[in-house]
């Protein structure tokens, strides 16, 4: 029973805001435009790097002790060239875009340790044995 928190007396359900959720989200973008004899050139680059440290991850438990981290990075590159043809009555346009989005799966950082077999549960095969466990000791 030490792994199960007591419910809040007024509602009968456990709820706590004692654990911080921390999001580091670094973003920047830059755009460069130039008019040349090749046409109007444009380049745009966007970068987004984030790390979410969540005490209650959305895919996980709603009780404390199962905190997890999620990381990711998105990058976008957009290049274009627009050129007027035939005295300005027609245009030729070239565009190139590249998007890269890397998302690391949510990884638990708490609640790892004792196996299901150590609690007497036999015949259960966890999909990821390295991720099985119970809540952290701080609850």
From 100, 127, 13, select the one nearest 62 (Cα to Cα).
13
Domain residue spans of the chain: 22-131
Whole-angstrom distance, CA of residue 95 vs CA of residue 25: 29
Pairing relationship of beta strands 22-36 and 39-54 according to DSSP bridges: antiparallel
From 33, 55, 35, select the one nearest 43 (Cα to Cα).
33
Residue 94 CB coordination number (10 Å)? 11
Per-residue pLDDT tens digits for 81-134 = 999 888 778 889 999 999 999 988 777 776 677 777 887 888 888 777 777 776
Residues forming a β-bridge with 73: 49, 102
DSSP secondary-structure letter at 25?
Answer: E
**What is the chain's mean pLDDT, rounded?**
81
**88 φ, ψ (degrees, to nearest 5):** 95, 5
Token output for 5: 């928190």
Whole-angstrom distance, CA of residue 125 vs CA of residue 50: 33
What DSSP assignment string belongs to 97-138?
EEEEEEEEEEEE-SS--S-SGGGT--S---SSGGG-----TT
Does the pLDDT at position 31 exceed 70? Answer: yes
Instruction: Give the SS3 label for residue 121.
Output: coil
Considering 10-24, 31-45, 65-79, 99-113, the range whose residues carry the highest mean pLDDT is 31-45
């Amino acid at each position: 029973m030490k792994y199960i928190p007591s419910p809040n007396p007024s509602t009968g359900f456990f709820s706590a805001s004692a654990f911080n959720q921390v999001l580091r989200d670094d973003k920047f973008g830059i755009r460069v435009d130039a008019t040349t004899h090749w046409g109007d050139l444009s380049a745009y680059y966007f970068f987004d790097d984030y790390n979410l440290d969540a005490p209650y991850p959305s895919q996980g438990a709603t009780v404390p002790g199962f905190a997890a981290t999620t990381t990711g990075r998105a990058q976008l590159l957009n290049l274009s060239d627009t050129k007027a043809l035939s005295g300005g009555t027609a245009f030729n346009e070239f565009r190139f875009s590249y998007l890269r989005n890397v998302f690391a799966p949510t990884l638990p950082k708490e609640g790892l340790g004792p196996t299901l077999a150590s609690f007497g549960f036999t015949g259960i095969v966890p999909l990821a044995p390295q991720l099985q466990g119970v809540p952290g000791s701080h609850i």
